[in-house]
Structure 1
Amino acid sequence: MRILVATDFSPRSQRAVRRAGILAAQSGGKVILMHVVVGPNSQETSQDIREAQRMTVEQVAVVPELFRIPCEPLVVRGCPSAEIPDAAAARDIDLIVVGASHRAPTRDSGRTLRNLIRSAPCPILVARRFAASPYARILIPVDLSDASARALRSAGSLKLVDGAHVTVLHAFEAPGKSKLSGFAVARDQIDSYVEGCRSKSAEDVEALLASVGLAGRGWSRWMEEGSAQEAIARLAGRLPADLVVIGTHARTGFRKALLGSVTEHVLSTGGADVMVIPPDTPGGCRRFGPPTRAGWPEARQPAPRLVLGQASATGASRHTEPHHRGRACGGDASFAMHFAP
């Protein structure tokens, strides 16, 4: 696996670098350590570039997780949310890793992260926790859409799920449930109706896993009535999850305002690391022109179903074991503002 990790030498980006080293060790991969110098093409910026080159080499030498990991330092001038996707596409990167706070991001950092996700040619891992070992508990929310299928395929193909306990979560709604009480329907009948919806959701999830060739992976399934945002937050805290893997529809404009975005909600709240799987692009992977380097040598499905229902009063949920057991900077002033304290 080829991993590009963004660094500005801050504590937050240090978490990202360490996580990249752990993932590279798991997969026998390579790490490209990238720093973006923001500023005009001036003598002062050239000095910043030379200093960044020196610090990047030092970081490779001192981070223990990078020991014996093939590493390539890369320093470029430009806008982080543009240069990082460019470098990832030019080098056939499999995963981009960036550091972020375990708390909710600021307005500027959130905008930069959204811009990066929308233009990235590969999955992006947002490292928010201290990295000391491979992921042990991974949560993959699915809404039975193409985005969920991409998330499952990526989790299966990347080595970060190896050895981890993986839970696939589906939040479902029982249409018309709130009206049944008004028609004097007995409580046990309402509960039976909800259980029927739960069983149908479990079948749909099983079909989704089978469609991407993952039905036999031994992952747990969890069906929960309510909104996706609330279900993810509850289960991620209950497990507790080290990593949440989620596909994004990357909606913009009116549709996004109308439907909301589960992905943005997960990113806007603190907690576990988050891996975002961006949409596929027409014709395959995005391709960009090569970035402006600063002195380093060349390196080498099921139908969509939205889950936006109202949470149940009881927050009922059911955990089932595996089936066999039942481009714009946006006014960026500096890279450090967005990926560092």
Structure 2
Amino acid sequence: MKTILLATDFSARSDRALRRATLLARQVGARLVVVHVVDDDQPPDIVETERAQAETLLRRLGSTLRDVDGVSCETQVILALPFVGILEAVQAHAPDLVVIGSHRRQVLRDVFVGTTAERTIRSADRPVLMVNAPPVGPYTHVLQTTDLSEASRDALRRFADLGLGAGLRNTILHVFDAPALHLALSSAMSVPERERYLAEERDKAAAQLAQFLAAAELGDPHRRLRHESSAAHHEILAAAQEAQADLVVLSTHGRTGMAKLLIGSVTEAVLRTARIDVLAIPPSRHD
């Protein structure tokens, strides 16, 4: 990994993202590009004032990163809508990783849709790290998730290529379904029958996960299975908490054409509710 792009709005959320990006840059020896986007859909005087203030803040920040943290750093102010400006920076600097702060958490379930964070994740075509937790040191345990799909396999390979998991505890989680338990007839099953059926489905899922890992050449990480007894994103976050993971890796299930606007309901739900850091990785896209 050579380049990390950090998008900052100078908020407390962005400060957490900055600290994490700095830790990662020092860990892998990457250069750090810090960008701030000034909304240019405002009166010219306001745009110019905000631009000048942002340039001053970024100049100071860049000096600190270079002189104190020992990180190669470049800063840039972009005049555009926030989402558009971040994509312009991605295209200009071709980063290996984009780091952003968490979105504002509000009560409405659908408030996440359409935010700058969500638009960046679904459109940047780069791994995007959403920093939710205050960084207290390097990551120690990464929980990677897979639904055994080709998109998931490609995303996990891209994570391996980033080198962020080197030397960490590494767990692969697969949340499996037990279809018969959703059927009306399941109420007629006795407890031993339900347990026996669930054990059989778990064995099948374990064999499928082993085959998936072997075919994907992802090494031999610790394997973890969970039955989807509740919503999949609940199971993922519960597994992360039980394993004391400090980073969750998800595939965005990006596709070409209009379908690329969808990041997948499970991924979106995890991004909306997680209290630990989440790395959303799009699979490779082929024309």
TM-score, structure 2 length as denominator?
0.86
Q: Partner of 2:114: helix, strand, or coil?
A: helix
> Structure 1 unaligned runs (5+)?
284-341
Judged with a 3 Å threshold, the aligned counterparts in structure 2 of structure 1 residues 166 and 105 are, in CA distance, closer, same or farther, namely farther
% identical equivalent positions = 35
Match of 1:67 in 2: 69
Partner SS state of residue 111, structure 1: coil
Taking structure 1 as reference, are residues 137 and 102 closer, same or farther at Cα in structure 2, changes over 3 Å only? farther
Q: 1:267 aligns with which of 261, 266, 271?
A: 271
What is the match of residue 133 of structure 1? 137
- Distance in 2, matches of 1:174 and 1:236, equals 21
One of 48, 51, 60 as aligned partner of 1:46: 48
The structure with the largest helix share of the pair is 2
Q: Which residue of 2 aligns with 1:327?
A: none
Equivalent position SS for 2:91: helix
Please state whether the residue corresponding to 1:160 is helix, strand or coil: coil
* Contact 1:6–1:33 (CA under 8 A) maintained in structure 2: yes
Structure 1 SS opposite 2:143 = strand
Tell me how far 1:175 sits from its aligned partner: 2.2
CA distance in 2 between counterparts of 1:53 and 1:253 reads: 36
User: Is the 1:61–1:67 contact (alpha carbons within 8 Å) kept by the matching residues of 2?
Assistant: no
* Structure-1-length-normalised TM-score: 0.73
1:201 maps to: 205
* Superposition deviation, residue 278 in structure 1: 2.3
Amino acid at match of 2:180: G
Aligned-partner Cα distance in 1 for 2:233–2:206: 19
Equivalent in the alignment of 2:86: 84
Does the alignment pair 1:111 with 2:114? yes
* 1:304-333 deviation per Cα after TM superposition (whole angstroms, max 9, x unaligned): xxxxxxxxxxxxxxxxxxxxxxxxxxxxxx
Letter in 2 for 1:271: R
Deviates more, 1:44-53 or 1:57-66: 57-66
Shift of 1:85: 1.8
- Do the aligned residues in 1 keep the contact of 2:65 with 2:72 (CA within 8 Å)? no
* Whole-angstrom CA distance in 1 between matches of 2:286 and 2:145: 25
Structure 1 match to 2:14: 13
| CA distance in structure 2 between the aligned counterparts of 1:18 and 1:152, rounded to whole angstroms | 25
Which residue matches 1:313?
none
* Residues 249 and 104 of structure 1, relative CA distance in 2, 3 Å threshold: farther
Matched position secondary structure for 2:285: coil
Distance 1:198 1:87 in 2: 45
Report the CA distance between 1:61 and its aligned residue. Answer: 3.0
Aligned equivalent of 2:157, options 143, 153, 161 = 153
Among 40, 56, 59, the residue aligned to 2:58? 56
Alpha-carbon distance in 2 for matches of 1:235, 1:250: 24
Contact 2:237–2:274 (CA under 8 A) maintained in structure 1: no
In structure 2, how many angstroms separate the alpha carbons of the residues matched to 1:168 and 1:241? Answer: 11
The answer to which structure, 1 or 2, has the higher relative contact order (CA under 8 A, 6+ apart) is 1
> How many corresponding residue pairs?
278
Give the aligned CA root-mean-square deviation in angstroms.
2.9
Which whole-Å deviations, capped at 9, do the CAs of 1:191-215 have from their partners, x for residues lacking one? 2322121111112112222222213
Question: How far has the Cα of 1:188 moved from its partner?
Answer: 3.2
